[in-house]
Amino acid sequence: PEAAAGAAQPRPDPDMREAILAKLRFAVGRDVSAARDHDWYVATALAVRDRVVERWLDSIARTGPEKKHVYYFSLEFLIGRLFFDTVSNLNIVGEVRQALAGLGVDLDRIRAVEPDAALGNGGLGRLAACFMESLATLDIPAFGYGIRYDYGLFRQAIVDGWQHEIPEDWLSFGNPWEFERPDIKYLVRFGGSVEMVGRPDGTIQHIWHSAETVVAVAFDTPMVGWRGRRVNTLRLWSARAADPLVLEAFNRGDHVGAVADRMRVEAISRVLYPSDATPAGQELRLRQEFFFTSASLQDLLRRHRERHPDFSNLPDHGAIQLNDTHPAIAVAELMRLLVDEHNVRWDEAWRITTATLNYTNHTLMPEALETWPVELMERVLPRHIQIIYLINFLHLESLAKNGEISADLVRQVSLIDESHGRRVRMGPLAFIGSRRVNGVSALHTELMRKTVFSDLHALYPDRITNKTNGITFRRWLLEANPDLTRLLVEAVGPQVLDDAEALSGLERVVGDPAFRDRFVAVRRRNKERLAQEIAARTGVKVDPAALFDVQIKRIHEYKRQHLNLLETAALYAAIKAEPNRDWTPRVKIFAGKAASSYVVAKLIIKLAYDLAQVINNDPDVRGRLAVAFLPNYNVSLAEIIIPAADLSEQISTAGLEASGTGNMKLALNGAITIGTLDGANVEIREQVGPENITIFGLTAPEALARKAEPDHASRAIAASPRLASVLDAIGSGAFSPDDPGRFAGLVGGLRDHDPFLVTDDFDAYWEAQRGLDELWHRPEEWWRKSLLNVARVGWFSSDRTIREYAEEIWRVPVG
Ligand code: 26M
């Protein structure tokens, strides 16, 4: 926000122009006259990067080795673009804009050239990215550890309403933000067997004769905090074949075999797994998880050993956060490294491990909880399965010491699930191996205690703690919505740029008509921009004066995009039945990707598309209802949609959305939420006040009880003529005349089972929507509520979340 920073803005630096020109010539290798947008982008990014590097080296230098570091282990970092984030956090937007303008180049044009770093699926990966930014902002020394995927999350193409996945080749034009570190590399081993050798002192040494060795090479990306206060490192590992092996095969004359081996090894970092709810269960996924976990642990142990005689004080110098169970093999690998490789006694190693690791749970959905077949683990990680068995034995034995244990309790808390083939349960493994285990919203944490982890919680009552998610306001307000930011700075002062809670100063002006008009004008510009984007991407023309009703997130039955679509079809029918009523003009905006193998999710996208075809081409509803499904939802598209949303759809089945973070981004930018009492919606209601949010539907306990009633769906349908008629219409092909049976299965599923209680919540949702229609007709009231949302969501800053992790989980000082 160039003007927003006001007096704090440094004076333009004539060097920036020269720096960009030098990069263009000597790093890109292009003359000014031949340079195209992409060349300018790379030249400018490299010039900016030089400024980052100074602060990066300075951050490392002034962080003494004694300072405790945070290590965030995550298989996903959904970063998006880095150019504007970096320029904005360094507070040099004006300077760079001016330098480029002097060269005849528009900053906003070249920033759009950057591909998104989409190394994540959704909420979990984006949370990791927000956390990296807040860690640097709060001056906490931290490393993010993950995988440098050659291919990020697939690009979504919509062809005739059907999703197609296209490989996301984000590195094909190079990546100016990363530094390859060929000297920082570790061997990660797989397979083979374990030899046990007796030692003279009566102990047994385990020697792992692995079958395969992979090299993990580091690629570092600087993570710049707000005002460039600190720059941390995101270290992503790339898999390389170990050369000697290849050479050996080559010398044997097996050139093709050697190249094939190399392919198999390097496949580990080839592509992000694109499922965000059902664990993949394939060997490659397990190899990815172990690959990055092992390399990261080796890296931090090496750094520790450079300054300390042993590992006894590791917990004083490092705290590891496991982002979900994806890196949970860290429990066994840290034990292996300490016991087998560094000769630490088992008990001491266990003390160190359980004082260093922490685990964040992001879902309670049983089908999403990771388990690995014992047989697979024996083959891929033979030493680790032994260690897990021993951890399990000691864990169960300690229960026995504390009283009698029933077969039932053992079944509940054992690390091995014996119910459908023998499988290692990664959630309980992470729980047992961690000092703290956290949920991501108050409700979710409470449900963790009461459901999936109830038995472990009874054994370790102090371990589970809540850390409600947050979002970085730099990206989701200052960068995505610069006009609103300027207005906020004028209204409440520049401290709002540094302190999210300063937004509460807005309370003073919510009733001021002049201020409200300016707020509405800013929103209007944002909506015009989105309308252009919708026209460009879908051909649908929408009126920026209409209510923009937005549901943007991964497509999933529990998130209930189909509930929204049923309401859309019912509204369409109602408008057609009473065309002369004073309907609130609405644009229903959807965006999101479906996992490639998730057939129902893809059908839900097709339903959105088919509804849009009929509704957008019906003159009877023109100007009152339009539907747009925007293809290829990603961070950059979110940055355009969110500042233009009037209504935020957060309508998951209560008890199933762990937190949500899109809900926070939308409220921060002035959208009013329509939602269930689920995840962080509960806390949004507490913060903004129940009169400024529209809550509907079953609560989590009610939903649980309702699901158990076998005929709940048929009863709900029988009680609601509107629902019955919309199901009939969709199920019989009213929106799919080319294939009338297309949605019969989808509708049949709702009639027969409806595990996500779409039918049960339909009427309440309909009524809540009609209440919002009414509210739209009272603009002073609508915008007052909208403004109060902005004023009262400061608590959802990821700075607050990270402060809580720092104080309670990591025990590191906050700058
Ligand atoms: C597992 C196996 C194979 C491939 C992929 C996965 C996998 C990847 C991501 C499973 C789950 C994944 O993410 C779950 C997730 O994104 N959870 C969301 O986390 C957010 C941050 O805490 C919450 O806000 C959301 O409510 C929660 O759904």
pLDDT classification of 13: cutoffs 50, 70, 90: low
Query: What is the model's pLDDT at position 130?
Result: 98
Q: From ligand 1's centre to the CA of 335, what distance in Å?
A: 27
Task: Map residue 737 onto helix, strand or coil.
Answer: coil
Choice among 485, 661, 676, 694 that is catalytic: 661
Task: Map residue 163 onto helix, strand or coil.
Answer: strand
Choice among 395, 436, 553, 602 that is catalytic: 553
Residue ID of nearest Cα to ligand 1 atom 2: 279
Handedness of CA 533, 534, 536, 537 (dihedral sign): positive
Q: From ligand 1's centre to the CA of 128, what distance in Å?
A: 11
Please state, in angstroms and rounded to a whole number, the distance separating the CA atoms of residues 330 and 344.
16
Region 714-736 average pLDDT: 98
Phi, psi of 487 (to 5 degrees): -65, -40
| 365: amino acid identity, one letter | M
Distances from the Cα of 367 to the Cα of 206, 281, 375, 750, angstroms? 35, 11, 20, 20
Q: From ligand 1's centre to the CA of 658, what distance in Å?
A: 9
Best CA proximity match to 530, nearest among 543, 513, 514, 519: 543
181: tokens are 């570190």
The predicted-structure confidence for 750-792, as pLDDT tens digits, reads as follows 999 999 999 999 999 999 999 999 999 999 999 999 999 999 9
Domains and CATH numbers, the chain: 66-81+116-469 (3.40.50.2000), 475-698+780-796 (3.40.50.2000)
Task: Map residue 434 onto helix, strand or coil.
Answer: coil
Residue carrying structure tokens 């004694």: 66
Q: Are 773 and 582 in contact (CB under 8 A)?
A: no
Residue ID of nearest Cα to ligand 1 atom 9: 276
Residue ID of nearest Cα to ligand 1 atom 7: 276
Q: Which of 278, 324, 441 to mutate to test the pocket of ligand 1 (most atoms within 8 A of CB)?
A: 324
Q: From ligand 1's centre to the CA of 595, what distance in Å?
A: 12
Residue ID of nearest Cα to ligand 1 atom 1: 279
Phi, psi of 729 (to 5 degrees): -60, -50
> Is 68 a catalytic site residue?
no
Region 569-595 average pLDDT: 97
Task: Map residue 213 onto helix, strand or coil.
Answer: strand
Residue ID of nearest Cα to ligand 1 atom 10: 276
C-alpha dihedral, 548 to 575 to 600 to 699, nearest 10°: 70
Please state, in angstroms and rounded to a whole number, the distance separating the CA atoms of residues 386 and 393.
11
H-helix or E-strand containing 255?
helix 255-266
Query: What is the model's pLDDT at position 245?
Result: 57
**Ligand 1 environment, Cβ below 6 A:** 121-124, 127, 273, 275-277, 279-280, 285, 362-363, 368, 440, 469, 657-661, 679
Q: From ligand 1's centre to the CA of 368, what distance in Å?
A: 8
Residues in the chain: 815
The ipTM value here is: 0.95
Please state, in angstroms and rounded to a whole number, the distance separating the CA atoms of residues 805 and 142.
13
Please state, in angstroms and rounded to a whole number, the distance separating the CA atoms of residues 154 and 118.
9
Region 698-724 average pLDDT: 98
Please state, in angstroms and rounded to a whole number, the distance separating the CA atoms of residues 795 and 684.
9
Lowest mean pLDDT: which of 14-28, 32-46, 253-267, 567-581? 253-267
> Is 665 a catalytic site residue?
yes
Q: From ligand 1's centre to the CA of 122, what distance in Å?
A: 7
**Does pLDDT of 248 surpass 90?**
no
Q: Which residue spans within 473-601 are E strands per DSSP?
A: 547-552, 586-591
The model carries a pTM of 0.97
445: tokens are 């944490």
Please state, in angstroms and rounded to a whole number, the distance separating the CA atoms of residues 1 and 477.
10
> Among residues of the chain, what percentage have pLDDT more than 70?
97
Contacts of 417 (CB under 8 A, 6+ apart): 371, 423, 424, 425
**Does pLDDT of 49 surpass 70?**
yes
Contacts of 580 (CB under 8 A, 6+ apart): none
CA angle 77, 82, 88 (to 5 degrees): 130
Q: Which of 284, 363, 653, 683 to mutate to test the pocket of ligand 1 (most atoms within 8 A of CB)?
A: 363
Q: Secondary structure of the chain: what % helix, strand, coil (to 5)?
A: 55, 15, 30
Please state, in angstroms and rounded to a whole number, the distance separating the CA atoms of residues 593 and 643.
20
Q: From ligand 1's centre to the CA of 698, what distance in Å?
A: 24
Region 381-401 average pLDDT: 95
613: tokens are 């075809």
> Is 472 a catalytic site residue?
no
Please state, in angstroms and rounded to a whole number, the distance separating the CA atoms of residues 453 and 364.
10
Query: What is the model's pLDDT at position 251?
Result: 63
Q: Which of 77, 121, 469 to mutate to test the pocket of ligand 1 (most atoms within 8 A of CB)?
A: 121
Please state, in angstroms and rounded to a whole number, the distance separating the CA atoms of residues 412 and 317.
34
Please state, in angstroms and rounded to a whole number, the distance separating the CA atoms of residues 550 and 644.
9
**Does pLDDT of 281 surpass 60?**
yes
Handedness of CA 329, 330, 331, 332 (dihedral sign): positive
Atom of ligand 1 nearest to the CA of 127: 21
Q: Are 383 and 191 in contact (CB under 8 A)?
A: no
> Is 371 a catalytic site residue?
no
Q: Are 358 and 467 in contact (CB under 8 A)?
A: no
Residue ID of nearest Cα to ligand 1 atom 24: 660
> Is 553 a catalytic site residue?
yes
Distances from the Cα of 620 to the Cα of 577, 615, 625, angstroms? 10, 9, 10
Atom of ligand 1 nearest to the CA of 658: 26
**Does pLDDT of 277 surpass 60?**
yes
83: tokens are 């150019």
379: tokens are 């083959």
The predicted-structure confidence for 406-443, as pLDDT tens digits, reads as follows 888 899 999 999 998 999 999 999 999 999 999 999 99
Q: From ligand 1's centre to the CA of 322, what distance in Å?
A: 13
Please state, in angstroms and rounded to a whole number, the distance separating the CA atoms of residues 295 and 235.
10
Q: Are 472 and 798 in contact (CB under 8 A)?
A: yes
Q: From ligand 1's centre to the CA of 439, what distance in Å?
A: 13
Q: From ligand 1's centre to the CA of 603, what distance in Å?
A: 21
Q: Are 70 and 110 in contact (CB under 8 A)?
A: no
Please state, in angstroms and rounded to a whole number, the distance separating the CA atoms of residues 90 and 507.
30
The predicted-structure confidence for 511-553, as pLDDT tens digits, reads as follows 999 999 999 999 999 999 999 999 999 999 999 999 999 999 9
Residue ID of nearest Cα to ligand 1 atom 25: 660
Query: What is the model's pLDDT at position 128?
Result: 99
Region 347-371 average pLDDT: 96
Q: Are 144 and 233 in contact (CB under 8 A)?
A: yes
The predicted-structure confidence for 641-692, as pLDDT tens digits, reads as follows 999 999 999 999 999 999 999 999 999 999 999 999 999 999 999 999 999 9
> Among residues of the chain, what percentage have pLDDT more than 90?
91
Contacts of 368 (CB under 8 A, 6+ apart): 277, 278, 279
Choice among 395, 436, 665, 685 that is catalytic: 665
Choice among 559, 560, 593, 742 that is catalytic: 559
Residue ID of nearest Cα to ligand 1 atom 8: 276
Task: Map residue 427 onto helix, strand or coil.
Answer: helix
The predicted-structure confidence for 295-350, as pLDDT tens digits, reads as follows 999 999 999 999 999 999 999 999 999 999 999 999 999 999 999 999 999 999 99
Distances from the Cα of 340 to the Cα of 197, 315, 333, 337, 384, angstroms? 12, 19, 10, 6, 11
Q: From ligand 1's centre to the CA of 593, what distance in Å?
A: 13
Please state, in angstroms and rounded to a whole number, the distance separating the CA atoms of residues 747 and 713.
11
Q: From ligand 1's centre to the CA of 126, what distance in Å?
A: 10
Handedness of CA 451, 456, 460, 466 (dihedral sign): negative
User: Dmax over Cα atoms in the chain, in whole Å?
Assistant: 93
Q: What is the 3-state secondary structure (H, E, C) of 210-257?
A: CCEEEEEEEEEEEEECHHHCCEEEEEEEEEEECHHHHHHHHHCCCHHH
The predicted-structure confidence for 180-210, as pLDDT tens digits, reads as follows 999 999 999 999 999 999 999 888 999 999 9
Choice among 49, 97, 230, 362 that is catalytic: 362
> Is 203 a catalytic site residue?
no
168-174: long-range contacts, CB 8 A cutoff, minimum separation 24: 168/115, 168/118, 170/115, 170/116, 170/117, 170/118, 173/38, 173/42, 173/115, 174/42
Atom of ligand 1 nearest to the CA of 280: 3
Q: From ligand 1's centre to the CA of 277, what distance in Å?
A: 6
Query: What is the model's pLDDT at position 2?
Result: 46
Q: Are 765 and 697 in contact (CB under 8 A)?
A: yes
Question: Starting at the edge strand that comes first in sequence, how are the strands of the sheet with 647-650 ordered?
Answer: 625-630, 586-591, 547-552, 647-650, 672-675, 694-695
The predicted-structure confidence for 92-144, as pLDDT tens digits, reads as follows 999 999 999 999 999 999 999 999 999 999 999 999 999 999 999 999 999 99
9: tokens are 């803005």
Best CA proximity match to 550, nearest among 521, 583, 591, 608: 591
Atom of ligand 1 nearest to the CA of 122: 16
